[in-house]
Each structure stands twice: as structure tokens, then as C-alpha cells.
């Protein structure tokens, strides 16, 4: 995908004459020049505290994460290996809280052999393996139903969130990356810069929202969650979580998780931040990543004022 060049206003507009030339040459300048009614906004930086550090299975190629009551439901991708996994929020796989002072770069918590597929272990929750031709993507719970995307298969699996039994399927077009619910709608990302607001009954699109940061598109939107009246997205291969205004699509703030991602990216290049879930009871976000050996509960020190 192509990215527009970053605007550097000081360099592009040293003189009126140069600005005129630049205006005709540079789309970035054109966007900035036609948007003089908008001031350049600086996205807030939401500082955070790590409240809990818990083990996370390195066998999980995490695609989606959602809190449902006292449980986390997580989807793990790849063809032939995809599963949905439901486990208690504080007592999941390889359970036992770690000392948060322990460096995250320690050896994997579990010394159990890594199997091809994330297999169920005793008392570690419920697993739902998917057919080999489906790549599990993000998931969300809405109105007593668990909705699971299947990346390029253009199918949403609707599961019972407790038993993980399949109830029905719905269809969509294109790729499915992230999924959450906002009000009475489902919100989906597809790897681009748009959020698609969908009807939970038939998955039809009600509206689309272009996500921008200072008028520039924010692409590769991935797993989603909702908190403080905002839509939060982790961005593929980036270390931050973006806070998105649900009406304007503007990126209004970021949680920069560079310190966490840096420690886990050493496992392999695919070990990116993925899997974010707002926990209403804990007033924090669960965050993890693909093949990360930890998951974290973080709380914001300076949260945004909730939108009405």
C-alpha cells in the first residue's frame, strides 16, 4: 500500500511563491492548504500503568480478543491451526500470575512442547478448532452472540459465546481483520483505513468511516475494542493503539506500547501487537500479541473524557 508523504509545513511553505508551486505538485500540501479551517491537532498520548502481567500461550497466533463477563475469548489464526479459545480472565492457559517485576524477555513461561495447533489442556477453558480452510480473525460478543471473522473467506461465524458451538453464518465482502461492537452496530476493519459499521442481524453495511490522523489515512487498522465512547484499534506492525472518534474518524489519541512490543518482537517478525479488549470491570485494556508469552492489563493514567 502507498502512504502519502508526511506534511512538513515549515519546509513546504517558506514563502508564498514556493507555496503556490508546491500546491500544484504535492497532494499532501493540497490537502493541508484546502483545510485551513482545521487547526493541526496533536493526538493525545495516553500514558498507562501495567496492572497485571499474566502468561499467554506462545502457541496463540492472536487475531482477536474480547472480554465476556469473567472470561476472555481469543481467536488464533493460520490455516489448519485456527481456534477460538475461551478462558477465565485471571486464570487462563499456563495460569499463575507472574511477578510483574520479572523481565518480559524471560524464557517462555511454559516448557510444554509447542504443537501444530493450539490444543486444549485440562481446565484451561474451551477450545473450538476451525476447519482447516478457515483463518480465524477478530471476534466480538454482541447480544449473546459471538461473531468471528474468517479473514479472506468472507464468512462470519456466529457462535454461542459459552459453548462456542456454531449457530449460523453470515457473509461479507473483502477481508475481515478486526471486529467490535459500538452501540447497536458491529464495527469491522479490513486492513485498510476504513471502519465499516454493520447491522448485527445480516452484517449489511450501515455506514463507513475513514480514519485519519491530521488528514492522512491511517491504514492497516486491525483488532478493535470500544472504551470511553471511542473506538480503539491496534495498527498492524505498529506499536501503538489508536483512539478513533466514532463520528469524525479522527485519531484523537494513542497508547504507545513500544516498550512492550519491543520485548516480544524478538520472537519473530510476525510477533506483532494484536489483541486488545476493554475490560469494563477492571477499567482497563487487556493487550497481547501474536506468540507473545505474556498478556497485560493496562490502565490509562490520563484517560480521555468519555464521549456522550
Residue, CB closest to Ca ion: 225
- 141 versus 170: smaller Cβ distance to Ca ion: 141
Tell me: does residue 60 bind Ca ion (CB under 5 A).
no
Nearest to 55 by CA among 279, 297, 226, 283: 297
Beta carbon nearer to Ca ion, 57 or 222: 222
How far apart are CB 286 and Ca ion at their closest, in Å? 9
Looking at beta carbons only, is 32 or 146 nearer to Ca ion? 146
Backbone angles phi, psi at 31, to 5 degrees: -60, -40
Instruction: List the one residue from 181, 225, 271, 274 that touches Ca ion (CB under 5 A).
Output: 225
Three-state SS for 236? coil
CB contact at 8 A, 189 and 240 = no
Q: Which residue, 186 or 277, has its beta carbon nearer to Ca ion?
A: 277
| Cβ 206 to Ca ion shortest distance, Å | 20
Task: Mark 246-275 with x for binding to Ca ion (rule: CB under 5 A) and - for no binding.
Answer: ------------------------------
Least Å from the CB of residue 278 to Ca ion: 8
Does 288 sit near Ca ion (CB under 5 A)?
A: no
Place of cell 473467506: 153
Least distance (Å) between residue 137 CB and Ca ion: 11
Residue 154 — left, alpha, or beta (φ > 0 → left; ψ -120 to 50 → alpha)?
left
Taking residue 200's Cβ as centre, other Cβ atoms within 10 Å add up to 18
Q: Are 84 and 73 in contact (CB under 8 A)?
A: yes
From the CB of 282, what's the least distance to Ca ion, in Å? 15
Our CB check for Ca ion shows the closer of 22 and 231 to be 231
Distance between CA atoms of 164 and 73, rounded to whole angstroms? 10
Compare residues 124 and 137 and give the one whose CB is closer to Ca ion: 137
Q: Which residue has the cell 476451525?
A: 130
Residue 223 sits in the site that holds Ca ion (CB under 5 A): yes
Strand (E) or helix (H) holding 288: strand 284-289
- Cα–Cα distances in angstroms (integers) from residue 304 to residues 44, 130, 229, 248, in the given order: 9, 38, 9, 16
Burial class (CB in 10 A: 0-12, 13-18, 19+), 10: exposed
Q: Which of residues 61-100 bind Ca ion (CB under 5 A)?
A: 65-66
DSSP 44: E
Contacting range for Ca ion; rule: CB under 5 A; set: 57-65, 96-104, 207-215, 227-235: 57-65
Minimum CB separation of residue 14 from Ca ion in Å reads 45
Q: Which is nearer to Ca ion, 170 or 277 (CB)?
A: 277
Q: Find the shortest distance in angstroms from Cβ 221 to Ca ion.
A: 12
Shortest distance in whole angstroms from residue 277 CB to Ca ion:
5
| Number of neighbours of residue 221 by Cβ within 10 angstroms | 25
* Count of residues touching Ca ion (by CB under 5 A): 5
Cβ atoms within 10 Å, residue 255: 21
Instruction: Give the interface with Ca ion as residue ranges (CB under 5 A).
Output: 65-66, 223, 225, 277
Amino acid at each position: 500500500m502507498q502512504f502519502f508523504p508526511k506534511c512538513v509545513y515549515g519546509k513546504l511553505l517558506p514563502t508564498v511563491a514556493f507555496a503556490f508551486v508546491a500546491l500544484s505538485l504535492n497532494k499532501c500540501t493540497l490537502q493541508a492548504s484546502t483545510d485551513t479551517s482545521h487547526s493541526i491537532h496533536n493526538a493525545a498520548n495516553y500514558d498507562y500503568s501495567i496492572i497485571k502481567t499474566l502468561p499467554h500461550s506462545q502457541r496463540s497466533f492472536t487475531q482477536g480478543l474480547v472480554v465476556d463477563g469473567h472470561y476472555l475469548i481469543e481467536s488464533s489464526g493460520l490455516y489448519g491451526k485456527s481456534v477460538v479459545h475461551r478462558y477465565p480472565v485471571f486464570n487462563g492457559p499456563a495460569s499463575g500470575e507472574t511477578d510483574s517485576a520479572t523481565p518480559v524477555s524471560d524464557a517462555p513461561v511454559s516448557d510444554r512442547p509447542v504443537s501444530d495447533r493450539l490444543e486444549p489442556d485440562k481446565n484451561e477453558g474451551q477450545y473450538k478448532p476451525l476447519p482447516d480452510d478457515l483463518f480465524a480473525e477478530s471476534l466480538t460478543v454482541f447480544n449473546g452472540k459471538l461473531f468471528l471473522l474468517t479473514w479472506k473467506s468472507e464468512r462470519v461465524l456466529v457462535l454461542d459465546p459459552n459453548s462456542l458451538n456454531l449457530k449460523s453464518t453470515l457473509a461479507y465482502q473483502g477481508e475481515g481483520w478486526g471486529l467490535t461492537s459500538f452501540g447497536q452496530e458491529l464495527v469491522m476493519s479490513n486492513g485498510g483505513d476504513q471502519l465499516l459499521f454493520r447491522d448485527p442481524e445480516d452484517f449489511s453495511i450501515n455506514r463507513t468511516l475513514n480514519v485519519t490522523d491530521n488528514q492522512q489515512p491511517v491504514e492497516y487498522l486491525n483488532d478493535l475494542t470500544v472504551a470511553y465512547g471511542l473506538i480503539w484499534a491496534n495498527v498492524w506492525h505498529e506499536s501503538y493503539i489508536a483512539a478513533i472518534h466514532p463520528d469524525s474518524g479522527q485519531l484523537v489519541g494513542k497508547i504507545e506500547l513500544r516498550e512492550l512490543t519491543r520485548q516480544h518482537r524478538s520472537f519473530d517478525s510476525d510477533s506483532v501487537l494484536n489483541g486488545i479488549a476493554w475490560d469494563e470491570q477492571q477499567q482497563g485494556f487487556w493487550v497481547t500479541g501474536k506468540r507473545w508469552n505474556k498478556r497485560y492489563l493496562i490502565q490509562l493514567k490520563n484517560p480521555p473524557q468519555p464521549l456522550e
